[in-house]
Amino acid sequence: MDATMSKPAMPTPTERRTKKLFGIGGWYVLVILVCVIMILPLMWMIGIAFKGNSDIYKIPPEFFPSELHWENFLKGPEAINFLQLFLNTTIITILSTIGSIVSSTIVGYGLSRIRFPGRKIWFYLFVGSMMLPGIVGLIPMFHLYLSLGFYDTWMPLILPSWLGNPFFIFLARQYYLSIPFSLDEAAKIDGAGHFTIFTRIMLPLTSPVWITMAIMSFTGTWNDYLTPLVYLYTDSKWTLSLGMASFAGGFAGVATTQWNQYMATDLLYMLPPLIIFLVAQRYFMLGVSSLATTARNQ
Amino acid sequence: MLASGHGRQRSATRRRRYNRKEALIGYLFILPSIIGFTVFVLYPLFSSAYYSLTQWDGIKDPVFVGFKNYIYMFTKDPSFIPSLQATILFAILSVPSSLILGLLLAVMLNRALPGVRLFRTILYLPAVLPSIATLTLWKFIYNPQVGLANQVLEFLHLPTSTWLGSYQMALPSIVIVGLWGVGATMIIFLAGLQAVPQELYEAAKLDGAGAFNLFLRITIPMISPILFLQLVMQIIGALQAFNQAMVLTGGGPGFTTDLLMYSIYQHGFGNLGQFPQLGYATAQVWVLFIMIIIVTIFTFRLSSMWVYTESNLD
């Protein structure tokens, strides 16, 4: 299967046209089949989110709801105090996204545009720390935050991003190195310092890279589960990931609760990352292709 | 890496010695990361190495016990070896399947036909959903009575399963949930495929190479660096899988899905109705960490055999 698909567009001899058309038809059938399989769980979920309370236990189950129950989208969120958790998650996500962009672009600028002894070593140390699995820090950091009085606060979720994200630093540095140095020189002759060059020249010129960072950081923080799980105790401080996990945990695999309302809530939880993805697809791809070129230039 | 060499060369011709003020400003710019590196890398690395040699409940000070934790882990703890096995099996099942499926989908969608962008978006969509949203959704999909998984099997007249409740199927079920997000792998491969120069294919076709040969002799070598990076990152990720066990199975049934990260969490923070065993949990962290290092080094060593590099000027 893969072999025939790997063929890039070929110049078409007329005698093979019908064969090719047949191939294209087969390709569409296959691709659409795969897409249906991938999208089926989501469709099923949307169907249940609209079902009535008695419909969800109907045997045999029906795929489509017999009538649309919009109230699930109100009752479900109420059950986990959705609005509060949504607000919490939004604040945490925005603060840590801003933090990681600010700190990583500053460090990236320092590593790429300022000449100082040891900058190569620091660069390799920062980037090398990407290889360190997060779990190694879990327990010592928990102890540290506890003794600083940060347990059950948002600090452990926000503070780390203000101290530079290794992957973002790497991205920023790579981008900055592609900007001609003559721009800096010209600005320096005009009397600009590094901070001015950074804010006035570098940041506006490299908007794709920090938009990519913003998206990656947003989805990363929005989706994070382990950190809030370890640090947040009081349920009014929870993030949505904690709320949703405990919402589903309440069912304990037995369908005795209103999981139509659960599905409705889950859809609302998925919505922000989904919207960002659909709006900013281009930048998702940018992050991906920078990863791909990184691999090639290793 | 090439670009950095250029930059350095240029600034070196401009100014031979370091300017002291410039150096100070440079360190000010990278200060956030120096602090971050010290607090989030150096401190945990050394302190956790020490904590792993202690008995520590998180309330009283840690008491040094030497290698007792490690000895207990490998000789007495009835849960450690099964959880190690579950973790390794999970990596063995999930990494190759995700790489192969991701590559197949990427090759399939690497064509310029109408609608291909829409198909790419659809296949990538599940990968952008929050992990908890996905996992909780699949918890219902796997519900034996009303879940989608058994509905589909019944529709196809295939035998149904108890999925997460079954000793045989619990781990594969978790792997399947991961495969739903294969779009993330696919999209990276796709970026790699699009960078392969078309002339290579043209030239090979003139020489009479078939489709299978093109794939094996051109596509695979040309994207091998990306394949390699994906392999390393996915192994590291799989060994640290946690959410799946926490949300879907609680480590069960038996120890079939008792992934190491989950075991560490349970020992350190879980409410098993006992004191947290932070020292013991840290020792498990170190076993996992060393495992990751060994696997990574091993993969890097093997990589020279199959990863294609364009030039070896260095």
Name the percent of chain B in helix, strand, coil, to the closest 5: 70, 0, 30
Q: Per the CB < 8 Å rule, is A241 touching B132?
A: yes
Q: Per the CB < 8 Å rule, is A139 touching B51?
A: yes
Q: Which of B6, B22, B40, B247 to mutate to test the interface with A (most CBs of A within 10 A)?
A: B40
Residues A225 and B240 sit within 8 Å (Cβ to Cβ): no
* β-sheet bridge partners, residue B54: B64
Q: Per the CB < 8 Å rule, is A296 touching B226?
A: yes
Q: How far is B75 from chain A (nearest CA, A)?
A: 23
Residue B313 lies in a domain: no
Angle between helix B20-37 and helix A82-113 axes, rounded to 10 deg: 150
Which of 3-22 (B) contact A at CB < 8 A?
A: 3-4, 6-7, 10-11, 15, 18-19, 22
The residue of chain A nearest to residue B180, with distances taken between CA atoms, is: A38
Residue A149 main-chain phi, psi, to 5 deg: 80, 20
Q: What is the pLDDT of residue A255?
A: 46
Nearest to A214 by CA among A226, A203, A198, A225: A203
Distance CA B263, CA B58 (A): 17
Residue B191 lies in a domain: yes
Q: Per the CB < 8 Å rule, is B143 touching A178?
A: no
Q: Per the CB < 8 Å rule, is B130 touching A38?
A: no
DSSP state of A57: G
- Asked which of B15, B35, B51 is the last residue of a domain, the reply is B51
Q: Which of B29, B182, B186 to mutate to test the interface with A (most CBs of A within 10 A)?
A: B29
CB-closest option in B130, B165, B278 to A139:
B278
Burial of A41 per CB tally in 10 Å (0-12, 13-18, 19+):
buried
Return the structure tokens found at B27.
């360190």
| Residue A90 clears pLDDT 90, i.e. is over it | yes
Residue B57 lies in a domain: no
| Residue B179 clears pLDDT 60, i.e. is over it | yes
Domain count, chain B: 2
Q: Which of A115, A125, A285 to mutate to test the interface with B (most CBs of B within 10 A)?
A: A115
Residues of chain A contacting B292 with CB distance shorter than 8 Å: 133
| Residue A10 clears pLDDT 80, i.e. is over it | no
Q: How far is A229 from chain B (nearest CA, A)?
A: 9
- How do residues B187-223 score in pLDDT, each as one tens digit? 889 888 888 888 888 888 888 877 788 888 888 888 8
- How do residues A180-204 score in pLDDT, each as one tens digit? 888 888 888 888 888 888 888 888 8
CB atoms under 10 Å from CB of B46, counted, come to 11
The full 3-state SS of B20-80, as one line of letters, equals HHHHHHHHHHHHHHHHHHHHHHHHHHHHHHHHCCEECCCCCCCEECCCHHHHHHHHCCCCH
CB-closest option in A24, A139, A253 to B281:
A139
The mean pLDDT value of chain B amounts to 84
The residue of chain A nearest to residue B101, with distances taken between CA atoms, is: A2
Q: How far is CA B163 from CA B137, B160, B177, B179, B249, in A?
A: 14, 9, 12, 16, 10
Q: What is the pLDDT of residue B271?
A: 62
Q: What is the pLDDT of residue B203?
A: 86
Residue B174 pLDDT grade (very low, low, confident, very high; cuts 50, 70, 90): very high
The answer to whether residues B26 and B155 belong to one domain is no
Residues of chain A contacting B270 with CB distance shorter than 8 Å: none
Residue B56 lies in a domain: no
Q: Is B59 on the interface with A (CB under 8 A)?
A: no
CB atoms under 10 Å from CB of B227, counted, come to 23
CB atoms under 10 Å from CB of B116, counted, come to 15
CB atoms under 10 Å from CB of B271, counted, come to 7
- How do residues B46-56 score in pLDDT, each as one tens digit? 998 898 898 88
The CATH number of residue B103's host domain is: 1.10.3720.10
Distance CA A106, CA A287 (A): 19
What is the percentage of chain A residues whose pLDDT exceeds 90? Answer: 19
Nearest to A125 by CA among B239, B300, B35, B6: B35
Q: Which residue has the higher pLDDT, A4 or A65?
A: A65
Q: Which of A127, A157, A296 to mutate to test the interface with B (most CBs of B within 10 A)?
A: A296
- How do residues B24-37 score in pLDDT, each as one tens digit? 889 999 999 999 99
| Residue A127 clears pLDDT 80, i.e. is over it | yes
Residues A297 and A275 sit within 8 Å (Cβ to Cβ): no
The answer to whether residues B15 and B92 belong to one domain is no
Q: Per the CB < 8 Å rule, is A116 touching B139?
A: no
- How do residues B159-172 score in pLDDT, each as one tens digit? 878 888 888 888 99
The mean pLDDT value of chain A amounts to 82
Residue B66 lies in a domain: no
Return the structure tokens found at A196.
């001015």
The answer to whether residues B149 and B278 belong to one domain is yes
Distance CA A252, CA A260 (A): 15
Q: Which residue has the tokens 């309330």?
A: B59
Q: What is the pLDDT of residue A101?
A: 93
Least confident of B59-73, B81-95, B125-139, B264-278: B264-278
The residue of chain B nearest to residue A288, with distances taken between CA atoms, is: B188
Residue A191 main-chain phi, psi, to 5 deg: 90, 15
The residue of chain B nearest to residue A133, with distances taken between CA atoms, is: B289
pTM confidence score: 0.84
The answer to whether residues B34 and B113 belong to one domain is no
Distance CA B113, CA B135 (A): 34
Q: Is B206 on the interface with A (CB under 8 A)?
A: no
Q: Per the CB < 8 Å rule, is B22 touching A116?
A: yes
Give the mean model confidence (pLDDT) for residues B149-156: 84
Q: Per the CB < 8 Å rule, is A136 touching B281?
A: no
Which of 184-203 (B) contact A at CB < 8 A?
A: 187-188, 191-192, 195, 198, 201
Least confident of A97-101, A269-273, B220-224: B220-224
The answer to whether residues B158 and B208 belong to one domain is yes
Q: Which domain holds residue B32?
A: 2-51
Q: Which residue has the higher pLDDT, B58 or B190?
A: B190
Give the mean model confidence (pLDDT) for residues B57-73: 83
The answer to whether residues B87 and B47 belong to one domain is no
Residue A230 pLDDT grade (very low, low, confident, very high; cuts 50, 70, 90): confident
Residue B236 lies in a domain: yes
Q: Which residue has the tokens 């099997």?
A: B153
Residues of chain A contacting B5 with CB distance shorter than 8 Å: none
Q: What is the pLDDT of residue B71?
A: 87
The residue of chain A nearest to residue B143, with distances taken between CA atoms, is: A253
CB environment A107-126: b (16+ within 10 A), e (fewer): bbbbbbbbbbeebeebbebb
| Residue B226 clears pLDDT 70, i.e. is over it | yes
Q: How far is CA A242 from CA A94, A229, A268, B163, B246, in A?
A: 18, 7, 15, 24, 11
Q: What is the pLDDT of residue A3?
A: 43
Q: Which of A135, A151, A293 to mutate to test the interface with B (most CBs of B within 10 A)?
A: A135
Q: Is B229 on the interface with A (CB under 8 A)?
A: yes
Residue B25 lies in a domain: yes
CB-closest option in A32, A125, A138 to B285:
A138
Q: Please give the single-letter amino acid code of residue B137.
A: L
Give the mean model confidence (pLDDT) for residues A91-102: 94
The answer to whether residues B94 and B47 belong to one domain is no
Q: What is the pLDDT of residue A293?
A: 65
Q: Per the CB < 8 Å rule, is B136 touching A248?
A: yes
Q: Please give the single-letter amino acid code of residue B261.
A: M
The answer to whether residues B27 and B153 belong to one domain is no
CB atoms under 10 Å from CB of A32, counted, come to 13
Q: What is the pLDDT of residue A59?
A: 66
The answer to whether residues B104 and B163 belong to one domain is yes
Nearest to A66 by CA among A244, A215, A260: A260
Q: Per the CB < 8 Å rule, is B148 touching A40?
A: yes
The answer to whether residues B23 and B133 belong to one domain is no
Q: Per the CB < 8 Å rule, is B33 touching A114?
A: no
| Residue A283 clears pLDDT 60, i.e. is over it | yes
Residue B251 lies in a domain: yes
| Residue B112 clears pLDDT 70, i.e. is over it | yes
| Residue B89 clears pLDDT 90, i.e. is over it | yes
Q: Per the CB < 8 Å rule, is B25 touching A114?
A: yes
Residue A210 main-chain phi, psi, to 5 deg: -80, -20
Q: How far is A208 from chain B (nearest CA, A)?
A: 17
Residues A229 and A249 sit within 8 Å (Cβ to Cβ): no
The answer to whether residues B39 and B168 belong to one domain is no
Distance CA A40, CA B148 (A): 9
| Residue A218 clears pLDDT 70, i.e. is over it | yes
Q: How far is A73 from chain B (nearest CA, A)?
A: 16
The answer to whether residues B233 and B282 belong to one domain is yes
Which of 252-281 (B) contact A at CB < 8 A?
A: 261, 264-265, 268-269, 278, 281
